[in-house]
């Protein structure tokens, strides 16, 4: 897969970028910097501006409040049970992405809405308590050369679920799960029927639309200034919100429900 969204690896970050990555990890509360932030680090001036713009949404619990309301109304496709013994790192990966992707869906959705000028009218968004973040060590982020060819092909097939036939962004969650090939095989078998009958796509679209409405409210808390390269930043952020993050919020939460680790 070609990579139209290059990214700075956490291990390669230096100077201001390394400091911002550390701040993102500490603020979001997970041990990895999600791909969207690592991609913004490749655009001159984008990461400092974007992080400064959305950080208050995390610190003041605005995004967390939106997540709590959103999860009460989420729609899930019916998928087969995924209960069973797995390496502890499987749940660590799922819990980490369930937390960070869902919070990021609202903060980044708000950022994109602000840059498009699509901000809801009304008072400032509500604040609330921060959601507890999973303090879990994740396995390495696998690349094609790190796993057997059939495992990597399964990663690529799973990445197409709930997205266009040739997704532009490879969801990092599947790369973290590549260390558990038996689970990936079960996961593909469980999700394939919902992908085939369209119920996975319908749930993703409905949840994404619901999140967009709330993100327009959160956008009120983001400063109205437009940075240099605003259009490029908006295009990049929107691609993640509409695709990688937008689909994985539903998929990851549905997986955790199917595993019996939380209720729907």
In the chain, the number of structural domains is: 1
Mean pLDDT of 236-257: 95
The answer to whether 195 touches 159, Cβ cutoff 8 Å, is no
The whole-angstrom separation of Cα 138 and Cα 129 is 26
The whole-angstrom separation of Cα 180 and Cα 176 is 9
Inside any domain, residue 77: yes
Inside any domain, residue 2: no
21-72 tens-digit pLDDT: 999 999 998 888 999 999 999 999 999 999 999 999 999 999 999 999 999 9
Inside any domain, residue 31: yes
The whole-angstrom separation of Cα 41 and Cα 44 is 7
Residue 137 DSSP symbol:
P
pLDDT of residue 212: 96
Mean pLDDT of 250-262: 92
Inside any domain, residue 17: yes
In sequence order, the 6+-apart residues with CB closer than 8 A to the CB of 239 are 5, 168, 169
**Residue 176, both tokens:** 């973290």
Residue 1 pLDDT greater than 50, yes or no: no
Inside any domain, residue 264: no
Inside any domain, residue 62: yes
Domain residues for the domain of 148 are 10-125+133-259
pLDDT of residue 157: 96
132-182 tens-digit pLDDT: 988 888 999 999 999 999 999 999 999 999 998 888 899 999 999 999 999
Inside any domain, residue 105: yes
pTM score, two decimals?
Answer: 0.92
pLDDT of residue 2: 46
């Amino acid at each position: 897969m070609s990579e139209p969204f290059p990214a700075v690896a956490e291990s390669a970050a230096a100077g201001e970028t390394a400091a911002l990555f550390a701040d993102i990890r500490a603020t979001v509360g997970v041990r990895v910097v999600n791909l969207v932030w690592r991609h913004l680090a490749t655009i001159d001036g984008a990461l400092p501006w974007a992080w400064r713009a959305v950080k208050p949404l995390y610190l003041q619990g605005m995004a967390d409040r939106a997540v709590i309301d959103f999860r009460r109304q989420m729609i899930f496709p019916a998928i087969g049970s995924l209960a069973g013994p797995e390496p502890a790192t499987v749940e660590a990966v799922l819990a980490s992405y369930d937390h960070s992707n869902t919070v990021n869906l609202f903060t980044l959705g708000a950022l994109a809405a602000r840059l498009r000028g699509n901000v809801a009218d009304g008072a400032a968004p509500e604040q609330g308590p921060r959601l507890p973040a999973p303090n879990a060590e994740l396995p390495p982020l696998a690349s094609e050369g790190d796993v057997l060819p059939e495992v990597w092909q399964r990663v690529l097939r799973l990445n197409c679920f709930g997205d266009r036939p040739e997704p532009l962004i490879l969801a990092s969650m599947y790369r973290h799960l590549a260390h558990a090939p038996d689970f990936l095989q079960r996961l593909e078998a469980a999700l394939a029927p919902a992908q085939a009958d369209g119920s996975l796509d319908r749930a993703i679209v409905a949840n994404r639309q619901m999140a967009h409405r709330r993100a327009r409210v959160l956008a009120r808390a983001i400063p109205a200034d437009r940075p240099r390269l605003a259009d490029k930043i908006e295009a990049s952020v929107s691609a993640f919100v509409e695709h990688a993050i937008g689909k994985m919020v539903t998929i990851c939460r549905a997986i955790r429900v199917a595993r019996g680790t939380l209720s729907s």
